[in-house]
Structure 1
Amino acid sequence: MTQKTFTVLGAGMMGRAVAFDLVQSRGKDCLAVIDANKAACDSLENWLGIETHNLDAKDPAIDELIRDSAAVIVALPYGFNLQFMKKAIAAGAHFCDLGGNDDIVSSQLALDSDAEKADVLCLPDCGLAPGMADVLGAHLARQFDSVGELTIRVGGLPQNPEPPLNYQLVFSVGGLINEYKEKCKVLRNGEITLVDPMEEVENLEFDGIGKLEAFTTSGGAAWLPEIFRGKINKLDYKTIRYPGHAIIFNSILKLGLADENEIAPGITPRKVLEGQIMKNLSGNDEDLVLVRVTATGIVGGNAETRNLDIIDRYDRKNKITAMMRTTAYPTSIIAQMIVDGRITERGVKTPEMCVPGDALIEEMAKREIITRSY
C-alpha cells in the first residue's frame, strides 16, 4: 500500500465517476477507493486498474488511509459526510463531499475554525445541485454591479421519456422524495423565505430538447440565499422535468403516499412509494442533464440579462451517465483544484463561497461538459 493523493469513499455510481475522472486527469496511482461492497471494489479495480479497499465505514484502517492522503472525497449517502470530514480534519487532509442535506452541512460549517487550524479546506455540497450549478450562479451574479433576480434550473431526464411521468431515477430515491416534499429556501424581496415544493410551475425550452417545465424543489439553492441575502431581490432554484410531471407527482404526495407514519409494523407509505419508484422508474435509458442559470441586473449602468446553459448527455463510450458526469466530475475537479493550490481558502466553506466559476467552466469543458454563455 502506497501513499495516495486522493482517498475516495464509495464505489457506487458517483464514486466510480469520481475515480474515472481522477484516473483520466492524474493516472491510476493517484487514488485509492474504499467501499464495504466487495463486488463494487472488484468491479472498479478491474475497470480502472486502481487500488481498492473492501472496508466497512467503521474500520479503523480507513483512518490510516486518510492520514496518508492529501484529500478525501466522500461519494456515500450524506449520513456519512460529517464523520468522515472530522476524520479528514484530524488527519490534516482536505475534504469534499456530494452534500445534499442542509442540516448536516450546517453541522459541517460549524467546524470552520477546526479546519482552519488544521490548515485544510473542507467543501461539502460539491455535486450538481447543490454544487456546480450554485457555483455557476454565484459566478454569474458577481459579473453584475447589482442583481435583481437570479434563477437556477436543473434537471436529470431520460433521453427517451415514457409517459405518464416521463422520468427515470438517476440518483437516490430518498433524495428525490426529500426534494419533492421539503420546504424550499428562496429569496423574496431580498429576504430568506420558505416556499412549498412542486409549486410555481413554469414553462421553458432548451434547443434540441423541446418544451419542459420547472418547479420549486428543496436543497438545490444550497447557501446562495444566505450569501446574497439583502443583495439580490429574488433568487430561487427549480427542478426541470418533462411537461405534466409536477401535477401527477404532486397528486401522489397530496394523497399521503410519501407520509412517514407506520401503517403496519415497519411499513410506511413512503417506504412503499420509494420501493415502487425504484422498481418501475429505475430504467437504464440514456440520460441527459440540463442546467440553466439566469441573472438579471445592472452592468455599467445598463440593464442586462445573462444566461449560462449546459446540456450534457450519456457517455456511450465509457458508459457513464450524464448525472454521474455532472455530479462527480465537478467534485473531482474541485478536489484537484484544492490540492493544486488553485483554491487557497481554509476552513469549512461551500463551493459557491470559494470555487472560481471561470476555472470550473474551463475544467468541465476539457471533459466535454460545455457551458454556453449568452
Structure 2
Amino acid sequence: MRVVVLGGAGAMGRVCVKDLVASDVGEVVVADRDGALAEEVARDVRALAARPGSTVTAHAVDVTGDSLVDLLSGADVVCNCVNYTLNPTVMRAAAKAGTNYLDLGGLFHGTRTQLALADEMTDAGILCLLGMGATPGTMNVMAALGAGELDEVGSIRLRCGGSDPEPAQAALPAPYAIDTILDEFTMPAMVLAGGELAEAPAASDDEEFSFPEPVGAGIALLTLHSELATMPLTFRRLGLAELDFKVAFDAGMIARYRLVTALGLADTAPVTLEDGTEVVPRSLIKALAGTQRFSGRDIESLVVELAGTKGSRALTVRVEELSYPNATYGVGGADANTGIPPSIAAQMMARGAIKGTGVKAPEEVVPPVEYAAELARRNISIEVHVTQPA
C-alpha cells in the first residue's frame, strides 16, 4: 500500500502521516512545498513504523506544478491536507495519475465546486472522498450512523465543541487557523430550512449547547461548513428538511472576534492609512496574533442530533463523539480528531472497504460501524443514544 500525504509537514498532515506509519502502511510519502521540513517529519516518524519493511520518504512538491502527477502515479491514495482552495487542482492531478483522492473539506462553496467534477472523476475511474477530517468527515459518518436508526429523518443538528485546560493566553485566541476562525465570523452560514438551502448571518443564532462531559456546555454559533453542501443531497430520500451546523466557543472569545469583525479588521481589502501606507487588516491581525495551538491536553467533541421516525414512533437519535489527547502522536484531541480520520479512510479505500468512483461524501460511502471501531482503537469514542420524545 502506497499513500501520499500532501501538506504532510503541516499540522494536520503530520498527524495523518504518523497514523499511516503506525498502521503498517507499506510506503508513506511525506510531500510538502517545504522539502526540508518534509524530510524532518519523515525522519521523526520512522520510529513509529509498525514493521521493519515499511518506508517513509520525503518529497518537495508544488501542487500547482506538473511534477505532482508523477508523484501521485502508482499511489493507492493521496491524502490532500493543503489549503482547500487547491482541492480541484489536486483532484485533477489525481485523475491524471489514476490515484484515489481524499481531502479535509472545501468550506461549502469549494465543496460544491468539487461536486461538479463528478463526471470527470468517474471517467478517470477514481474515487474522490470529500471532507474526511473531523468536521466534515467523522461528523458526516456519525449522521449516517444515526440515520440508520430511523426510517425517516426530518432534522439534523451538527455541533462541534471542545475544552482545553490550558488555553492560550492571548488577547485574540486562535486555537486553530486564524484565517478559518475569521472566515467563520464573516462568511454567511448556510442552513437547510423547509427543505431549501438559505444563507444566515455569520456566527449568529447563539445557542447554549451541552456536549458530553468532560467538554460540557458552550455557546454554539452558525458557521459556514461543508456538511451543508452534501448532506441535504444524501439524506433527501429520508425526508430531511432541516439541517444546520454550529461550532462552540467561550463567551470571551466570541466577544473579541465580533469586535474584530465589526471594526473591519477581518477584511482582506487593503486600507490606506494617513501616511499613504497600504495595510491589509486581516494580514495585520494575523501578524499580531501570531501562531497559537491547543495545549495538547484539549478534548474535542462532535454531536449529531437527528429527529425522525421509526415505523409509527417518533424518535430522537443523539450521536456523541469524544476525541482525547493521543500520547503516541504527541497531539491533543482536536488535532487527533482531524488528522487521524484521513489516514483511516485512506487505508479503507486502499483495501476496498470504501468503494466507488466519482465524487462522494463520507456519509455516502464510509461504513459507519467499521470506521467507528477504527476511531475507538485511537482513543476517539462514538456513542449512539436513541430516545422517544415524551
Same fold at TM > 0.5: yes
**Farther off after superposition, 220-229 or 358-367:** 220-229
Report the 3-state secondary structure (helix = DSSP H, G, I; strand = E; otherwise coil) of the residue aligned with 1:239.
strand
In structure 1, C-alpha distance between the alignment counterparts of 2:170 and 2:313, rounded to whole Å: 44
CA drift of 1:150 comes to 0.8
Partner of 1:268: 280
Determine the structure 1 residue equivalent to 2:13: 15
- What is aligned with 1:296? 307
Give the aligned residue type for 1:227.
Answer: T
1:225 aligns with 2:232: yes
137 and 118 in structure 1: CA distance in 2 versus 1, 3 angstrom threshold: same
- What residue number does 2:53 align with? none
Deviates more, 1:35-44 or 1:81-90: 35-44
Of 236, 244, 265, 2:244 maps to: 236
Q: Which residue of 2 aligns with 1:245?
A: 253
Match of 2:147 in 1: 141
Contact 1:166 1:242 in 2 (8 A): no
Query: Whole-Å Cα distance in 2 between the matches of residues 366 and 282 of structure 1?
Result: 25
SS of the equivalent of 1:200 reads strand
Superposed CA deviations along residues 211-235 of structure 1, whole A, max 9, x for unmatched, are: 3211111115342234345822321
Distance 2:269 2:30 in 1: 38
Per the alignment, residue 130 of structure 2 pairs with 124
In structure 2, the CA distance between the partners of 1:184 and 1:225, relative to structure 1 (3 Å rule), is farther
Q: How does 1:78-157 map to 2 (within 5 A)?
A: 78-157=84-163
Preserved contact between residue 29 and residue 57 of structure 2 (Cα < 8 Å):
yes
Aligned to 1:346: 357
Question: Structure 1 93/373 Cα, relative in aligned 2: closer, same or farther at 3 Å?
Answer: same
Say if 1:186 and 1:221, in contact at 8 Å, map to a contact too: no
TM-score, scaled relative to structure 2: 0.87
Give unmatched runs, 5+ long, in structure 1.
none
The corresponding residue for 2:384 is 373
Matches within 5 A, 1:151-170: 151-161=157-167, 167-170=173-176
Structure 2 counterparts to residues 168-317 of structure 1, below 5 A = 168-170=174-176, 172-205=177-210, 206-222=212-228, 223-229=230-236, 231-264=239-272, 266-278=278-290, 281-282=292-293, 284=295, 286-317=297-328
Asked whether the equivalents of residues 158 and 168 of structure 1 are also in contact (C-alpha less than 8 Å), the reply is no
1:180 and 1:296 map into 2 onto residues whose CA distance is: 28
Q: 2:106 and 2:161 mapped to 1: Cα distance?
A: 15
Kindly tell me: are residues 135 and 364 of structure 1, through their superposed partners in 2, closer, same or farther at Cα, counting changes over 3 Å?
A: same
Instruction: Give the Cα–Cα distance (whole angstroms) in 1 for the partners of residues 159 and 371 of structure 2.
Output: 18
2: CA distance, partners of 1:282 / 1:6: 27
- Residues 148, 61 of structure 1: CA spacing in aligned structure 2 closer, same or farther, 3 A cutoff? closer
Q: Deviations over 1:192-251 (max 9, x none)?
A: 121112111111233223332111111153422343458223211100222443344223
Higher mean alpha-carbon deviation, 246-255 vs 159-168, is at: 159-168
- CA distance in 2 between counterparts of 1:128 and 1:53 reads 26
Give the 3 Å change call, closer, same or farther, for CA 130–9 of structure 1 in structure 2.
same
The equivalent position to 1:323 in structure 2, one of 334, 339, 344, is 334
For 1:31 and 1:348, locate their aligned partners in 2 and report how far apart those are by CA, in whole Å: 24
Single out whichever of 161-170 and 318-327 deviates more from structure 2: 161-170
What is the SS of the residue equivalent to 2:271? Answer: coil
Q: Percent identity?
A: 27
Structure 2 CA distance for aligned equivalents of residues 88 and 137 of structure 1? 28
Q: Note the residue ranges of structure 2 that are not aligned, 5 or more in a row.
A: 47-55, 386-390
